[in-house]
Structure 1
C-alpha cells in the first residue's frame, strides 16, 4: 500500500514561510496571496489554519519569543536574579536581532500568544521568588521589555552614513569620526546594549539592597504603586 502523502500545509510550514518573508522584506510583504504563492497552494487553503493575516503575524511573533532562553529562571538554576535577568536579556536581544522586522508586532505585548505569556510569567515569577514585591516585579518586567525592544527597533551606529564629507566640522565639531560608525554597527550596538543593561541592573541592585536593608519597600522615590497594581507585567 502506498504511503499517505504528506499534507501540503501545516501551521508550522505557514509560520516558517511567513517569518522568512518578514525577515527578508518586512511586515508589508506578508499577505495571504503572497504566502499561498510561496507555499504553492491556493489562497483559501490557508484559512484551514489561520483566519486572518494578523493571526499569522501573531504566530510569527510567538515563534520568535519561543527562541528566547528561559532556563535561567528555572527553580533549580543557580543564577541569582540579577545574573538571570542579564542572561535572559542577552538571549532576548539575540532573537530580536535575527528577526528585527517582527519587533513592532512583539512590542504590542503577548496578548494570547503562548510563548510570550510563558516569557512574561517566567520573569515575573522569578522576580517575586527573589524577594521583589509583586508591584516592583511588574515594573521590572515592563522596564526590561522597554529596554530590549527599544534596542532592537533601530541601530544608533547604522544611522550614520559612511561618507566622511557628510559631517562638516564647522557644523558638527564632534562628529569627525561619525562616518566610521556604520561599518562597526554590530560591535557598537552590542557594546551600547551591554553598557545600558549593566547600568539598568546596577540601579535595580541598589533598589534591592535598599529593600533588603529594611529601608522601605524598594520603590523608587515618588512611586505611588499600590497592592492593587501588583499584577504581572509583559516583558
Structure 2
C-alpha cells in the first residue's frame, strides 16, 4: 500500500502548528482556517481532535507548561524550599520567555490542563512538605505565578523608544537615558527578574522563620 503524501493529522501536529502561529503572529492569528491551511487539511478535520479553538490554545499553553522543569521538587533531591522555588522560577520563566504570546492563556489558570495541574501540584506539595500551612502554600504558588507570568509577558526595556528626543526633560526630568534601555534589554529585564525573585524569596524566608519560631 502506498504511503499517504502527508502525515496523518494528530493532536500533536495541530498543537505544533498552532504554537508556531501563536509565536509568529499572536493569539488572534489562530483560526481553524489558518491551521487547516498550514496542515494541508480541511477545516472540519480539526474537530476530530479538538472541539473548539479555545481547546487548541489550551493544548498549546499546556505544551509550554510541560517544558518547565519540576525535578527540583523531587523529595529525593532534598532541596531547601527556597532553593527549589528559585530554580523552578527560572525554568518556568525560560519556558515562557520563548513563547510570550501564549502567556495570556496560561494566566487564566491550569483549568483541566494536565501539565499545568502537575506544576501546581508540585509547588503546593513541596511547600506543604516544607512546613508551610496549606493556605499559605496556596498563596505562595499564586504569588510566584503572578510574578513569573508578568515578567514573561512583555519587556520593560523595550517599552521605551530608542529616540533620544522622545522624552523632553521638561516633562520627564528623570528619563534622560530611557532611550538607551532597549539596547540593554537583556541586562535590564533579567536583572529586574533576579532582583524581584530575590526580594520575594527573602520576604518569604522571613515569614517562614517567624512561623517556625512561633510554633
Aligned equivalent of 1:38: 38
Give the unaligned 5+ runs of structure 2.
none
The alpha-carbon deviation at position 38 of structure 1 amounts to: 0.3
Aligned equivalent of 1:192: 192
Aligned equivalent of 1:229: none
TM-score (structure 2 length as normaliser): 0.96
The alpha-carbon deviation at position 168 of structure 1 amounts to: 1.4
The farther-off stretch of 150-159 and 101-110 is 150-159
Deviations for 1:140-192, whole angstroms, at most 9, x for unmatched residues? 00100111111122221111000011111122121111100011112211110
Instruction: Determine whether 1:111 maps to 2:84.
Output: no
Count of residue pairs brought into register by the alignment? 214
Matched residues in 2 for 1:3 and 1:140: separation?
A: 56
**Greater per-residue helix proportion:** 2
The alpha-carbon deviation at position 129 of structure 1 amounts to: 0.4
Deviations for 1:24-58, whole angstroms, at most 9, x for unmatched residues? 00001100010000000111111111111010000
Higher-RCO chain (CA-CA 8 Å, sequence separation at least 6):
1
1:1-235 correspondence runs (5 A): 2=1, 5=4, 7-214=7-214
TM-score (structure 1 length as normaliser): 0.88
Deviations for 1:117-148, whole angstroms, at most 9, x for unmatched residues? 00000000000000101011001001001111
Give the unaligned 5+ runs of structure 1.
217-235
